[in-house]
Chains A and B, each alone.
Chain A
Amino acid sequence: MTVTITIPTLETERLILRAPRIDDAPAVTAFYASDRSKYVGGPQSAEVAWRTLAMEAGHWALRGVGRGAITEKGNDTALGTVGLWHPEGFPEPELGWDLYDSATGKGYATEAGQAARAYAYDTLGWTTLISLIIPENTASSAVAQRLGATHDGDFTHERYGYMHIWRHPAPEALT
């Protein structure tokens, strides 16, 4: 028995959201080497960053959903990791986004987040979605607010520690 996993490609006005690939490793490694990763389990060595990329890919096999690379249209270089994330130990599925250095300040996390959320609601039929964010991560919390999410309790993760639960608007509130 061979199980083929189909990972959707989503398109926004400016971005493509696609499956994680092995040639994303340099971008993922650079992100996890940088201080920008300090709120999402970093900084990490190149080897651990590679395992994280593999885990992102394996998440699709285990959950049927996952996160992928965002790229600008016409340039396949990964600029961030965005999508639906539900590893063991999370209280419920989240919409997650990591934006790499060169991609900040353009509204890309919000734009890609909207697309992934629409996929969860409209294609998968999910009825709610959270984002878990370490409170000190003000940039990410601002993205959650731009997406219309509101602070809805707290959660302590075994590795990341204390996090805010941001609850996204329900599907009917977005139409």
Chain B
Amino acid sequence: MTVRATDRLTLRPIAATDMNDLMPFYLSDRGHWHGAGPEAGAGRAWRICAILLGHKQIHGFGNFIGRTNAGEAVTSVGAFCPANWPEHEQGWSTLTDTTKAANTVINHDRDELGWDTLVSYIDPANARSFALAEHLGATRDTTAPRPDAGDLVYRHFGAAA
């Protein structure tokens, strides 16, 4: 399945061919927000990529990679729901630009997957990420359960169960 987010951006389900773009991201300083980063090493970055690919395989849904018409990977965005996650979560990694892609996938989750509601869990120190959540129109949910007590919960649509 291919989703065209804008006339400049195409989203496709994450695949092994995206590794060349994902590995440098997880090995960079911004990989810290995802439990990776330069000092965690290539083994850790690789395992996170494998988790994203395997999530898609065993769940049937997961991340999309957004590319420009020139093929530049600009974002990884999509649902992430490991065991014990309180509810469906939308995550994103901004390789260079995420906003349009995130909007498209949020609509996909609501309209195609038929989910009633969707949240994002964000480390309060990750100012760029919660700024994006607010830019996307998500609202803070102060009472919803969360994987980590310190996380912020942003709700994109629907209401808490």
A residues apposed to B, CB below 8 Å: 1-3, 5, 20-22, 25, 29, 45-47, 49-51, 53-62, 87-89, 158-159
Known A-B contacts A56-B54, A58-B50; A3 and B43 likewise in contact (beta carbons under 8 Å)? no
Closest A residue to B35 by beta carbon equals: A51
- Residue pairs across A and B with CB atoms within 8 Å: the count is 94
Known A-B contacts A62-B19, A158-B41; A46 and B84 likewise in contact (beta carbons under 8 Å)? yes
Identify B83's interface contact among A20, A25, A88, CB under 8 A: A25
- B43 near A159 with CB under 8 A, answer yes
B residues apposed to A, CB below 8 Å: 1-2, 12-13, 15-17, 19, 41-43, 45-47, 49-59, 82-85, 147
Closest A residue to B23 by beta carbon equals: A88
- A89 near B49 with CB under 8 A, answer no
- Say what secondary structure dominates the interface of chain A: helix
- A58 near B54 with CB under 8 A, answer yes
B12, B55, B56, B83 interface centre (most CB from chain A within 10 Å): B83
- Say what secondary structure dominates the interface of chain B: helix
- B17 near A3 with CB under 8 A, answer yes
Q: Which residues of A contact B13 (CB under 8 A)?
A: 2
Q: Which residues of B contact A60 (CB under 8 A)?
A: 54, 57
Known A-B contacts A22-B58, A54-B54; A47 and B147 likewise in contact (beta carbons under 8 Å)? yes
